[in-house]
Structures are given as C-alpha cells and as structure tokens.
Structure 1
Amino acid sequence: MGREGAKELWGLDLCTKQIETARNVLHDQQAEVTLIESPMEENPGIPSSYFDIVYSIYALGWTTNLSLTFSNIYSYLKPGGVFIFSWEHPLHDRLKYEQEQSTFIFNKSYVNEGPEYNEGWQNLAVIHHRKLSTYINALIEAGFMIEKVIDDVCLPDEQSENPARWYSTQKANLVPATFIIKASKS
C-alpha cells in the first residue's frame, strides 16, 4: 500500500513478534507507519472515521469477539470506506482425509460454532469456528454493506502429492480453502 501511494500505514496485531516483523518489513516506506500491539476486540486509541481502507489477511478469524471487532473496524472507517478480509473457509477444517478409505469425510459439524482446537496447528491453537453466515450477518449488524463474497477455487493443473496435507488440491476440489469479503461503510 505504501508503494502505491498511501500516506499512512497502520497495523494492529496481538503478537509482539508480528509487530516486530511488520516494523522490519516496513522500515523503508515513504508512508508514515504506526504499529500497535493490541487485541482487535479493543480500540487502543485508533481514530474514528479516519481510514479509507481497512483490510485483514488471514487474521480476523482469531478474534474472540467478532461483533465487537467489526464494530471497531466500522468506527475506524470514513463514510464510504472499504473493509476487505480473508479467512479460512469454515467448511475447510470440517473435512479430513481418511487414509484407510482414501477419501475425505466430514469429521466435525459445520453448524456448531465456538472455540475449538485447530487441527492445522496440531491442536496448539484455539480458534473460534464460525459459519460463513455468521461473518456475513455480523458485518450487517455492525452497519456494513456487503459488496462481494468470494469463495471460488482456482486450482493448479497438477494435484498435490499428499491429499492429507492441510491445504491440498484434492481437498480444494471439494470445498474452498478461503473466503474473501468486501464490505463498505455507508
């Protein structure tokens, strides 16, 4: 964004290491850089109606309070501002490869929401499972207008060698790995 002419870049993350990494990556930006270590459920002093664009790439699913996070993001945006985010598609971690049968099975309920250990992180991380409709409805409740939802799959011509991998082309042939939502503040 800085190379494309943004005057300011702001970043928010819960993890000290991620803030340090961002600081190293952004050290030579022409834009003013502000990095804040804080949970996204809290407003650590970010100005209201300030930003043209807010985006989150594979981070929003870590929030413990989706409604509060969306309300914060809505407050940060100027009227007409755009919010774009991506996260793992909620069907993706419901599907598991069974070696014995050489097939995929649904091993968890899609409709049961809440905190759970994430198998992709070998049960070291707790993530809140949410349905896609939960994300969409929480955006609407926060005041956003949804412009686009993408959960299409673009697959390479050749298949990955191991269908049991967390992200495999065989699994992506059945369910999308990611979704992206674009919404705006009215």
Structure 2
Amino acid sequence: MKQNKYDDVNFFSEYKNMERSIKGLESAGEWHVLKELLPELRNKSVLDLGCGFGWHCRYAREQQAKSVIGVDISENMLQQAREMTNDPFISYIKMPIEDIDFSNSQFDVVISSLAFHYIESFGAICKKIYDSLRPGGSFIFSVEHPMFTSRKEQDWYCDDQGNRLHWPVDHYQLEGLRETTFLTENVLKYHRTFSTYVNDLLNAGFNIRKMKEPIPSDEMLESAPEMKDELRRPMFLIISAEK
C-alpha cells in the first residue's frame, strides 16, 4: 500500500496551513536536532526521501551541496517545492519512496524527514538506501516516535475538564498498520518498535552513529508555552547512521 494522502484536497489544504509548512524548517520542532546530526554537505550528492515542499533540499544547497534530488509521491507537494525552488542543481522526482531504484553508490548523504512511518517495510527501504550510498555515506532520518505511534488515537488522556493527564502507550509490541487522525481522518501510518528501527538498520549493514529523541528548543518553548507538554513524552525519533 502506497498512501498519497497529500494529494487529497482537504488534507493538503490543512497541511499547507500548518506553521511548519508556512515558515519552514525553523518552525519544525525537531529541526534544531536533525540539523546538528547532518554531516558536512559541501560538494556532496544528497537524496531527500519524502521531500515535501523541498525545505531540506534547499537547505542542502545553501550548505553548498553539489546536487540534490528530492523524491515525493505527492504532485501537490512537488508543485509547491518547484514553485519555491530556483536552482538547477535541485531536481524533484514524483515517486513512492518504496519504488526508488538509484544507482549503487550514487549519493553521499540520504535524508528523510517524517516519512517512513507511512511506509510498511522500513527494512526494505534501508537496503535500497544502503546500496545507493557511497562507502562512508550518511543516512539521517526522523520518524514519529514509537511511543507516539503505538496507539491509533495518538492523543493525550484527559480528565473531564480537558486537562492532559498523561500520554498512554498500548499495543506497543503489535507492529503494523494504524488508522489515525492527523489533520483529517483515515490517515494510515505504520507502527514499529524502537528495536525494529535499530535492527533493520543493522541488518542492512549500517553503523549507527547517534540516536536522538528531540525536545523543542528553548526559543520555541519560550515563544509557544503549550510546547512544554512536549517534554512529557517523546514525539520524534532521529537516527544518524553510516555505511
């Protein structure tokens, strides 16, 4: 199953109005951590899987990457990315991540932001990414944290007054499909455990360099007090690996 929710009119309309969609990377709560895990991008060939509006592609070129390819399944996302990009060294390809088939050792760096929890087999993607990287190449990605994806509700447990009491975790060991609500109903995501993410990377041949469970930056906590609830449970998982 290759979901293309972003070409749904209602879903995409809601997504375009998110702050991170309007303001870009600096409004993404996990960006300050992901950015620190990226290797030197100067003169590197970069692949961005699930590139969306192309924010990471353009950042890579700002860091003087030699060339960047962004892949996304959504024509709406890619149309927006192309409108925001004026750079002959960035190219966008409409393709499901599951279907990538690049040359061996084609890239120095592969990036993916919040895309793999929409894909059924992370292990299969890891093998394709490993083959597409040059020896010593870097693979850095973020996903929704397994504690966040375990329940299809993906929401706080609240009292009768709506106060957030705790973040429930259930069915953690039961990996697989979750039909959730994100912006609209009927959004399909795949839950997998922390150990599955790690073992799929190791089985593909990667060395894991670092893992992070990011919290909002001090600046974001000051400007948006409601973000303090993000200190109560992890929402994102970021892993840096090397071929």
TM range (shorter): 0.7 to 0.9
Residue of structure 2 aligned with 1:139, choices 192, 201, 204? 201
CA distance, structure 1, for counterparts of residue 106 and residue 170 of structure 2: 41
Q: Is the 8 A contact 1:10 1:35 kept in 2?
A: yes
Structure with bigger strand share is 1
RMSD: 2.0
Q: Is the 8 A contact 2:214 2:238 kept in 1?
A: no
Q: Is the 8 A contact 1:41 1:72 kept in 2?
A: no
Which residue of structure 1 aligns with residue 97 of structure 2? 40
Range moving further from structure 2, 113-122 or 50-59 = 113-122
Structure 1 unaligned blocks of 5 or more:
161-167
TM-aligned CA deviation for residue 152 of structure 1 = 3.9
CA distance, structure 2, for counterparts of residue 142 and residue 133 of structure 1: 14
Which residue of structure 1 aligns with residue 215 of structure 2? 153
Please list the CA deviations of residues 136-163 of structure 1 after superposition, one character each: whole Å capped at 9, or x if unmatched.
Answer: 1111111110000001424625631xxx
Structure 2 residue 163 is the aligned partner of structure 1 residue 97: no
Compute the TM-score of the two structures, normalised by the length of structure 2: 0.65
Secondary structure of 1:119's counterpart equals strand
CA distance, structure 2, for counterparts of residue 121 and residue 134 of structure 1: 27
Distance verdict in 2 for CA 1:141–1:121, change over 3 Å: farther
CA distance, structure 1, for counterparts of residue 176 and residue 98 of structure 2: 16
Which residue of structure 1 aligns with residue 144 of structure 2? 88
- Residue 32 of structure 1 aligns to which amino acid in structure 2? F
CA distance, structure 2, for counterparts of residue 33 and residue 105 of structure 1: 40
Q: Is the 8 A contact 1:11 1:36 kept in 2?
A: yes
CA distance, structure 2, for counterparts of residue 46 and residue 105 of structure 1: 40
CA distance, structure 2, for counterparts of residue 128 and residue 3 of structure 1: 33
Compute the TM-score of the two structures, normalised by the length of structure 1: 0.84
TM-aligned CA deviation for residue 181 of structure 1 = 0.4
Q: Is the 8 A contact 2:157 2:167 kept in 1?
A: yes
Which residue of structure 2 aligns with residue 165 of structure 1? none
Structure 2 unaligned blocks of 5 or more:
1-59
Which residue of structure 1 aligns with residue 240 of structure 2? 182
Moved over 3 A (4+): 119-123
Secondary structure of 1:49's counterpart equals coil
Structure 2 residue 131 is the aligned partner of structure 1 residue 75: yes
Secondary structure of 1:134's counterpart equals helix
CA distance, structure 1, for counterparts of residue 132 and residue 80 of structure 2: 24
Structure with bigger helix share is 2
Residue of structure 1 aligned with 2:109, choices 53, 70, 86? 53
Q: Is the 8 A contact 1:96 1:107 kept in 2?
A: no
- Residue 127 of structure 1 aligns to which amino acid in structure 2? K
Distance verdict in 2 for CA 1:108–1:70, change over 3 Å: same
- Residue 108 of structure 2 aligns to which amino acid in structure 1? D
Q: How many residues align?
A: 174
